[in-house]
Amino acid sequence: MKRWQSLFILLISANLCADVLRPSVDIAETATTSIPATYTVPTIWATAYQVNVTLTNNTTAATSSWTSTFTLPANYVLSTHVTGGTFATSGQNVTVQNLASNGTIAAGGTVVYTMIIDMPLSAPTVINNLQAFANGGGAPTLAAPVLNAISNPAHANAYTVSWSTVPTATQYKLQESTNSSFANPTTIFTGSLNNFNVTGKTAGTYYYEVTASTSTATSPPSNIQSTTVGSTPPPPPPTGGIEHAAWYIDWTAWFTGPTYNIPTGVDTLNVFVGELTFDASGNPTLGGFGNLNPPQLDAFVAYCKAQNPPIAIKVSIGGGGGSYDNCWDVLTSSNIQAFAQAMVNYCHAHGLSGVDFDYEEFASAEQETLVGNLIRTFKTIDPTLHTSLCTNAGFSSWMPVIQTIFNAAMIAPNNCAVDRLYIMSYYDPLASEEAWVTQWANWAIQNYGFTPARISVGIDDFDAHAYDPVAFYNWAVSQGYSTVHWAYNPANP
């Protein structure tokens, strides 16, 4: 036997002055049938609680009989330990009728019925829709409305909740809860309409229930429907046009401002090379970029933005050999959000247009998935920031890695968080490099919703000299591709 069962007889006879009085919900104010009903919860256990319901006859004449009704939250059960009335249940709806000994309530008098309710562990101790009626009137019957499914495929913060019309009902009450058991609901609408527009919700899952009423009756609650609101609306697929970019790699040239040696014919520069790291307090941040300090970066960004037309600046992280290749080792599933937010903050603080991701570590599929999750989270936090991902022109060995990253970076079908795929071509003849780029482009377009402009042909006019970079550039433009040059050294333009 549960401890609360053995204590029940003692508890119902005790005078518990400390009980909190809880009013009934929407008592119908008619002189002949309705009487006020309130309840208290004198005792609570981990998986059960005692409820005392008090009916008050506030008229000048004694009653001859009474009936009371209430609703239990979902997954709550009325136990067999009940006194003071005849109890009947239908689903979560409970009806209590007087005993032969207590049907008469003197004018100004009260009667109490008591029960123990089993509940989920540590759940709220409530009953809903408490009502009472005297003198054989009973609870007037009123059908429950049917709550319609809530359509919100984009997980937006505004949506419509609607329900069926109940004949003879003059008013509806819509309640909202953030708990699936519909504990502690909040009334968000009362009126005659059978729909309500919910707006301005923060991220989370919301549950809804509606009741219908007349001047003398309230229906049982409807079915429960729910919807989920996302943290931000999913960003749309990138729609940018052709980009002509380059990497800016010399560590000394930034110190020659306020004028700088910058390449001609480009609209984007990637500052190479940074890494994921932690600050002195152990918080995720970005570092690296040679000897470039934040004020120097800010001056360089301001200079490039002031050009006509302006030049956008991204920072490039990973790649480059050594610790930069291994910077992805700091990623874990628990710090993805923190690193993404730190990267967004870094871009905002320095006026950057986005981040270039260079993954060359080839450590594991798990790590590649983390990189894709990082890109997706970064893009979701601020959809206006630009993202690019680097790969080598050789298709067969690099494709599985990029595929894993892309799959983890998908925001929605045909909506990958990677704005551009940089395909680096270094050492092979022009015909071979063009064939590989074409293979990459077809793959990204067919499987991930890319456009030719989101394919950026990586042209090496810095060290390999395996082909004519001007011819490669002209071919890329003829195919509708973007271009990115490896690499611009301002000391040797």
CATH number assigned to the domain comprising residue 124: 2.60.40.290
**C-alpha pair distances (Å), 56 with each of 62, 63, 106, 131, 467:** 11, 10, 9, 11, 96
- Which one of 117, 134, 151 terminates a domain? 134
Neighbours of 16 (CB within 10 A): 13
- Whether 180 is covered by a domain: the verdict is yes
Are 344 and 482 members of one domain?
yes
d(CA 406, CA 421): 10
In a domain, 189, yes or no: yes
- Within 10 A of 493 (CB to CB), how many other CB atoms are there? 11
Structural domains of the chain, count: 3
Residue 210 sits in the same domain as residue 337: no
Nearest Cα neighbor of 322 from 280, 388, 275 is 275
Query: Consecutive sets of 10 residues in the chain, 493 residues long: mean pLDDT of each?
Result: 48 40 40 80 92 93 90 87 91 86 93 94 86 71 84 78 89 90 86 89 88 84 86 52 72 61 83 84 80 81 86 84 75 87 89 90 87 90 90 86 91 88 90 93 92 91 81 92 79 52
Burial class (CB in 10 A: 0-12, 13-18, 19+), 489: middle
Question: Residue 189: CA atoms inside 13 Å, Cβ hemisphere, count?
Answer: 22
211 and 265 together in one domain? no
Question: 190 and 41, same structural domain?
Answer: no
Is residue 142, in this structure, part of any structural domain at all?
A: no
pTM of the complete model: 0.53
Whether 48 maps to a domain, the answer reads yes
pLDDT (0 to 100) of residue 453: 92
Quick one: pLDDT at residue 193?
Answer: 92
255 and 346 within one domain: yes
Residue 239 lies in a domain: no
Task: Indicate if 294 and 369 belong to the same structural domain.
Answer: yes
The answer to whether residues 80 and 180 belong to one domain is no
* pLDDT of the residue at 243: 75
In a shared domain, residues 316 and 174:
no
Identify the domain boundary among 229, 256, 290: 229
Distance CA 144, CA 129 (A): 12
Q: What's the rounded Cα separation, in Å, for the pair 80 and 317? A: 66
| Both structure tokens of 86 | 């005849």
Interatomic CA distance for residues 109 and 318, integer angstroms: 80
- 441 and 450 Cβ atoms separated by less than 8 Å: yes
Q: Do 359 and 446 reside in the same domain of the chain?
A: yes
Clarify whether residues 198 and 254 are in a common domain.
no
User: For residues 308, 309, 312 and 313, what is the CA-based torsion angle, rounded to 10 degrees?
Assistant: -40
CATH number at residue 220: 2.60.40.10
Does 76 share its domain with 210? no
Q: Which of 78, 89, 15 is nearest to 51 (CA)?
A: 78
Chosen domain end from 187, 203, 229: 229
Same domain, 350 and 252: yes
Domain with 113 in it: 3-134
Q: Indicate which CATH number applies to the domain containing 365.
A: 3.20.20.80
In a domain, 257, yes or no: yes
Model pLDDT, residue 14? 41
Residue 466 lies in a domain: yes
Backbone angles phi, psi at 61, to 5 degrees: -130, 150
Answer yes or no: is 143 within a domain: no
